[in-house]
Structure 1
Amino acid sequence: MSKSNDLDAGPLGAELEAGIKGFEGLREISKFDTGQSNPTYLLKADSGAYVLRAKPHGQLLKSAHQVDREFRVMQALSGSNVPVPQMLYLSKEDSSIGRMFFVMSYLEGRIFWQPDLPECDRDERGPIYDAMNAALAALHDVDPSAVGLGDFGKPGSYFERQLSRWSKQYKASETQPNRDMDALILWLEKHLPADDGQVSLVHGDYRIDNMIFAQDKPEILAVLDWELSTLGHPLADLAYQCMQWRLPHNTGFRGLGGLDRKALGLPSEEDYVAAYCRRRQIERIEHWSFYLAFSFFRLAAILQGVLKRALDGNASNPKRAKEMGVAVPVLAAMAMQLTREEA
């Protein structure tokens, strides 16, 4: 975390004192060094600690960095079985910092940056993964209309729409040709499963480092980073998280690939999927290779956008962005290997 020099505490503090009941005396602003998408800050005030999440500076891709959507979905999930922070304030585009932002409660807890959980005892790792599994199933069991999110996205044809969206996003941020990505897009278009009518809230970036856990037990205090959330197909979230089992460990991905998961006390991909299916009363999942390949493609498209922003000078964490941009060819190659296994 670094002291922020791009936010003026005077105007911001005045806006928050007018907009948040009980907010008083903004004293310190620090920028979290982690994260690639929307810059996030810790605010320390006389009235307590808060977290501010804002749009980045510069020219943005269409439909990206919609912090108002993050605010809306977390506000709607308050009181549900899905743990989220308390939403306190949403600014307008012409805010005191010159762009839209929201403020939420600050939660003291643990964030696990590595999915193999090296800081935890073996017996704690399984329950942590089970807590993630339970929260994901709870999210997909939420009735979007019942929490005021019936219009949060277009129902149906999720993978068709997402494939179109991320193909366009990828092309808009492409910095050099990639044969695997081009072939992958064609394969996904050809093997797109028929829409089965399932619609749920999807997080869009469901992974362990987007959660805050309690300090002393395997309990999730909050699921964070809802920028990519929408109405969609629940298996998109499940497959996206299950990429973690396949991504190589000794790389920037910090995946579980190549590790002895049983010795570490971690569930296998098969066991994790089976637990999710039990919770949601699903008998079996068809087209699993498609869902996984799509997840690899989507992540590659996201990271390509991160790389493009870094090259353009607009990334939240430029050094990390360039490192992750190198990962795009690796993801595309892994996805193409999945397509060959399917064939």
Structure 2
Amino acid sequence: DGRLDGWCNDNLKWLRETYGERNLVSAVLHMDEKTPHIHATIVPIVTGERRKARKEEQNGKKKYRKKNTQDVRLCADDVMVRHRLKHYQDTYAQAMSKYGLQRGIDGSLAKHISTMQYYKELVEQQDSLQENIETLLGLEEEAQKKLKQVKGEINTQKMKSAAVNATTAIADGVSSLLGGSKVKRLEAENEGLKQDIANLQRQVQAEQREQTKMENRHNSEINKIDRSYQQKIAGYDNRLKQIDTYFPIVTELLPIAEQCREVGFTEELTRRIVSLQPVGFKGRLYSKEHKERFRTEHSTATVERNPQENGKFRLCIDRMPILEWFRMKFQELKEKLSVSNTSKEENKPKRGLRL
């Protein structure tokens, strides 16, 4: 009736007065159903002493230092207690009375039924109405048969009189049955049920069409991403083929780079080593074979052609293949430990016999 704006403003006024203007976070008008409605979000900020603390004090329990009763705090319990919920319904009904909205029955035990149960009852009611209509049509057919029987049994004069009376009675009876308010009401309810079912079917079909559109959009996005991915993969493959064709040495040096990282060279030193430059360094290198780190104060790392494998490279330390260099370092460590143990044995005090 053109009062939607006023209704919205009165709702906002009631929300602010009931929960506090600063506690109202949002209020959104929804028009997606038959009845306009508002989704409101509030924050349950309250002031005053906690009910639990006040109750414990009344019961004589140990008292603790009280907090300021005027401090604000979050407490859904104070907002959603039973007497407050009843108060909300009462005050909201008063605020909305000018729009013809009425409060529900106070203390009603009525319960909502599910949507599935509602439509099930509609279908059952439609079947019952259809049966009533079929019964009335059967009564009409039976009345027509009785009329024919009367015409065949009585004489012309009586037949005319009886026919007039029977026709009048039958017409009145049929008119009462088929034209009466009860049948019209049943037929109207039946048409209403058919319309509800048709609307539900259209709604389901619309949702199915929307779901199909959404699936098509998702599939389109997936196909688009897949095509982009395949294009990138093809580009990478083409680039690798070009590298293999024009720079075959890169492929041969990749295992050397991995080996440099495994033994402990940094990214910078690895980059310089695989660029075929002699690189001086000091520090520790790790040997997977001996599970040991071997230290060097000054060594040179180089990449050289492997004479045992044509077209291959090998990593060398001080002109020695790195595996041989590790074995040499391991042997030096063993000899050093052996000399150290021998020295310790010679320096031990010898024990002799005492008389």
TM range (shorter): under 0.3
More helix by share: 2
TM-score w.r.t. length of structure 1: 0.19
Bigger Rg, structure 1 or 2: 2
